[in-house]
Amino acid sequence: MTTIKICGLTNLDDAQCALTAGADMLGFIFFPKSPRYVAPASARAILAGLGSARARVTTVGVFVNMPPPLIVDILDQSGLDMAQLSGDEPVSDLTALAGRAYKVVRSVDQARLYLRVKPIPDPIPLHPDLLLDADHPTLYGGSGLRADDSVASIVARQCRLLLAGGLTPENVAAAVLSARPWGVDVASGVEAAPGKKDHDKIKRFISAVRQADASSA
């Protein structure tokens, strides 16, 4: 079954909607320039508000070009499980965060570089090896642009790939059936405005993924 990550969460209502609708991963962005930025204390409060249901999901902090010791500190402060490295981080940063991070890539060459330091696969995989996003000249995500389908298909055959980039309730089923990724990631595609989710879009997105799963079973 395809893993579903709802990213760019900024408030408890949206996080509760994502969890109730069936999301497997919840993402919080710690990049101050993002319109979806949240402070670590806010993320921690959101997770606390989810109560015991929080245990049903893997939680992810999104970072851009931040030193590994600071990433670990923020993960610990906020109570999140994993770090997503969305910037221009060197391979050594991923190695330093072994077991607690995965890398965003935007090309096959980048994917191959980071797959060289891929840890031993978990018996029960809880997180991706890589996330593939659209290649934007200035943004580190949330651009709404589609990732390259041909790149997605190649990388998805080599690792647990979380596919992002311009996914919406209308196109995610086709993306799942075409690339066969380990999971899909959405932020802007289920928003009413930057940082505020559209709950109907979240439900339709998750439903579309599950329908695609059922049709390919």
At 123, is the pLDDT very low, low, confident or very high (cuts 50, 70, 90)?
Answer: low
Beta strands in the chain (DSSP E): 3-6, 25-29, 58-63, 82-85, 101-105, 130-132, 161-163, 183-186, 191-193, 196-197
pLDDT at residue 150, as a whole number: 79
pLDDT at residue 113, as a whole number: 83
**Tens digits of per-residue pLDDT, 67-94?**
999 999 999 999 999 999 999 999 899 8
**Tens digits of per-residue pLDDT, 152-208?**
888 888 889 999 989 999 999 999 999 999 999 999 999 999 999 999 999 999 999
Distance (Å, rounded) from C-alpha 141 to C-alpha 136? Answer: 8
Whether the model clears a pTM of 0.75, i.e. scores above it, the answer is yes
Domain 3-215, what fold?
TIM Barrel (3.20.20)
Better-scored residue on pLDDT, 92 or 140: 92
| Pairing status of strand 25-29 against strand 3-6 | parallel
At 127, is the pLDDT very low, low, confident or very high (cuts 50, 70, 90)?
Answer: confident
Distance (Å, rounded) from C-alpha 46 to C-alpha 13? Answer: 9
- Residues with catalytic function: 7, 133
Residue extents of the structural domains in the chain: 3-215
Q: What is the mean pLDDT of the chain?
A: 90
63: β partners: 85
Quote the crossing angle between the two packed helices 40-49 and 12-21, to the nearest 10°: 50
At 144, is the pLDDT very low, low, confident or very high (cuts 50, 70, 90)?
Answer: low
